[in-house]
Structure 1
Amino acid sequence: MAIQHPSSAPCAPAPSRPYRQARAGYGKRSVPDQPLAQPADFALLPERERYVAGYVDHLPDGAAMDIKSLAKDLPLYGQMAIGTALRTLAVAGHLRHVRCRVETLGQSRWVTRTYWSRTAHDNEWWTTHLAGEASGREGAPLQKASEPPAWAPAPQEAVCAPAVPQQRTTSAPAPDAAPSAAYVALARLGRTDPRLALSAEDCAVPERLAGEWFARGVDADYLTQALTSGLPAQVGSPVGFVRRRLTDKLPPRLPEASAPAGPDAPARRLLVECSECGRPGPADAFPDGLCRPCRAAVREGAGAPGPAESELPGARDIHALVGSMRNLMRAP
């Protein structure tokens, strides 16, 4: 009897209870037109990645497949190992992490989905597929394009360069003036995570930078998630930390936001997440599921990993596997 693979990999456990269900709008999303499952679907992957991929492939759409949920269901590996395996599967062409803006019950919010393909695909295929998802091809909830709000800065204004305001006051808005959406979002950061609690004066300092995020089409939920995700154990200067993230993670300006096709033209916002650091951006800017800084780090680390890199468990795994994954995808 022929052996499917020379090495023995543990089989993904068959669940004895219902799958963990993600929150509405989140979770796994299978790509269409997939071939039937075969025993050798993931035979070219390393042992750990075959184990994780075999389990994820059997999950139904809408099931939770975040790192914490998978680590609870797969007893052989912890969260760091699961995270490295998911990054490797993204490089191999099996998945992409995507943030999608949807409307439910009259409210607009950002959800995080993981698009999964049993067959590994190259970057061009993923870019084309996600472009179709962004146009609402599958009939998912759509978002109506709208003009930027009145408080948003004009597109030609430079907001990233330091500028002296017309008035030197940095205090909170006057009681008779309604605060901007950017100010309100910054003021609520401390309620989401106490490490980013800002005073009234602190909120006024980065308000202009936050306003540029809203001008580029994001909402308060997206801004809060981008500022509070992956926080260090201690934040010495919350206002400095927030200003740095507002500058470093500024989302791109989408062309359709500045020139909508018509007053009722639907537009669905969709941003791909870097599988390494979580930075959002357009699909074509994330070859192999990695942003430019992470790709550069992978290329440098693949040649000669330094001492700091070797101290991180699983860090060398992803760096060493990136090259081999590309070669395997080119194989017939």
Structure 2
Amino acid sequence: MASPGYGKRGTPDQDPLRRDTFAHLPLRARYLAGFIDALCENAAMDAKTLAKEQPLYGQAAVRSALNELSVAGHLRRVRRVSDTGTEDGTTRWVFHTYWSRTARSNEWWTRFLNGDVPEPEPEPEPEPEPEASAPVPPARSDAYRRLAQLGLHDPRLTLSAADCTALEATAAEWLAREPDPQIFTRAMTGGLPDAVHSPRAFVACRLRDKLPPERPRFTNAMPPAERPRNLVECTDCGVPGRPEAVPDGLCRTCRPATIRTPARI
């Protein structure tokens, strides 16, 4: 297992594991993908640990395979601003390696790492009979969706539909004062106890206790420049950058000019 703040993190809407899930990968990357996919959440995914825990490949081969998995859209190494800074007020970063069994495009990773968790595309359904049209599901507010997504960030805060409906108005007031969804998610999921016995009561308490203050609005004031809160690390050399500036999880230096990104979801 990795140290707190490090290690494997899952992504939403992954396809089920099949015999041919990683068949599109080279043999070495295919083997390592199956090994990583079986690891539990927060397991260490650095090259040294992976080389030690499986018998076939050393550190250099593992690093090359991780680069192949990054280019194929299966992983991204990320630095994220922590909720809790250091005592002297400097920024504290935590590090994660996000893993997706389903190969993802650079655009998907950019949206995901910027806090926009994409919804799965619905499967086409047959046209309903005129006398028995299917009911249209109600539109959900941003507050409801943010509450429903808390369980994706930490399973201890998985809420039911009834829980989200009950907390929706309070969450909407929270987001009206601080619309940044990442700040909302960190406020709800940061520093959780080992066990959360009642996610609904726990989130309700945090919505109340961490409600941002009402800030005066200045119509002529320029908004402050926002510091990026998520940086993708180059899978090979570790140089950080914005998600859109590190295509395939590799920086310009480590990404060969002739590389071809395979088609992904």
> Which of the numbers 33, 39, 49 marks the counterpart of 2:19?
39
Query: How far apart, CA to CA, are the structure 2 residues paired with 1:119 and 1:138?
Result: 27
Quote the residue 2:111 is aligned against: 128
- AA at the equivalent of 1:290: L
Deviation of residue 111 (structure 1)? 1.7
Deviation of residue 74 (structure 1)? 1.0
Residues 1:65 and 2:65 aligned together: no
- AA at the equivalent of 2:105: D
Summarize the alignment of residues 66-85 of structure 1 with structure 2, pairs less than 5 Å apart: 66-85=46-65
- AA at the equivalent of 2:109: W
> Which of the numbers 225, 246, 250 marks the counterpart of 1:290?
250
Query: How far apart, CA to CA, are the structure 1 residues paired with 2:245 and 2:46?
Result: 23
Where structure 1 has 5 or more consecutive residues not aligned to the other structure, the ranges are: 1-20, 143-255, 261-266, 303-321
Query: How far apart, CA to CA, are the structure 1 residues paired with 2:70 and 2:250?
Result: 8
- AA at the equivalent of 2:225: A
Deviation of residue 287 (structure 1)? 1.0
Deviation of residue 48 (structure 1)? 0.6
Query: How far apart, CA to CA, are the structure 2 residues paired with 1:84 and 1:35?
Result: 25
Deviation of residue 40 (structure 1)? 1.0
Deviation of residue 280 (structure 1)? 0.5
Query: How far apart, CA to CA, are the structure 2 residues paired with 1:53 and 1:138?
Result: 33
User: Scaled by the length of structure 1, what TM-score is found?
Assistant: 0.46
Deviation of residue 125 (structure 1)? 0.6
Where structure 2 has 5 or more consecutive residues not aligned to the other structure, the ranges are: 117-179, 189-221
> Which of the numbers 11, 18, 27 marks the counterpart of 2:7?
27
Summarize the alignment of residues 1-332 of structure 1 with structure 2, pairs less than 5 Å apart: 21-104=1-84, 108-132=91-115, 135-136=181-182, 139-140=185-186, 258-259=224-225, 269-295=229-255, 298-299=256-257, 302=258, 322-323=259-260, 326-327=261-262, 329=263
Query: How far apart, CA to CA, are the structure 2 residues paired with 1:92 and 1:279?
Result: 19
Give the match's secondary structure for 1:103: coil
Is the 2:14–2:100 contact (alpha carbons within 8 Å) kept by the matching residues of 1? yes
Query: How far apart, CA to CA, are the structure 2 residues paired with 1:50 and 1:272?
Result: 23
Give the match's secondary structure for 2:48: helix
Query: How far apart, CA to CA, are the structure 2 residues paired with 1:37 and 1:71?
Result: 23
Is the 1:123–1:288 contact (alpha carbons within 8 Å) kept by the matching residues of 2? yes
Deviation of residue 75 (structure 1)? 1.2
- AA at the equivalent of 1:284: E
Query: How far apart, CA to CA, are the structure 2 residues paired with 1:136 and 1:23?
Result: 23
- Aligned-residue Cα RMSD (Å) equals 2.9
- AA at the equivalent of 2:239: R
**CA distances 1:135-193 after superposition (whole Å, capped 9, x unpaired):** 42883468xxxxxxxxxxxxxxxxxxxxxxxxxxxxxxxxxxxxxxxxxxxxxxxxxxx
- AA at the equivalent of 1:33: D
Give the total of aligned pairs: 167
Q: Structure 1 pair 284/135, CA: closer, same or farther in 2 (3 Å)?
A: farther
Q: Structure 1 pair 257/87, CA: closer, same or farther in 2 (3 Å)?
A: farther
Bigger CA radius of gyration: 1
Query: How far apart, CA to CA, are the structure 1 residues paired with 2:224 and 2:81?
Result: 18
Give the helix-richer structure, 1 or 2. Answer: 1
Is the 2:86–2:92 contact (alpha carbons within 8 Å) kept by the matching residues of 1? no
Query: How far apart, CA to CA, are the structure 2 residues paired with 1:125 and 1:58?
Result: 23
Q: Structure 1 pair 281/79, CA: closer, same or farther in 2 (3 Å)?
A: same
Q: Structure 1 pair 272/111, CA: closer, same or farther in 2 (3 Å)?
A: same
Query: How far apart, CA to CA, are the structure 2 residues paired with 1:69 and 1:103?
Result: 28
Query: How far apart, CA to CA, are the structure 2 residues paired with 1:118 and 1:137?
Result: 27
Quote the residue 1:238 is aligned against: none
Is the 2:22–2:34 contact (alpha carbons within 8 Å) kept by the matching residues of 1? yes
Query: How far apart, CA to CA, are the structure 2 residues paired with 1:257 and 1:73?
Result: 49
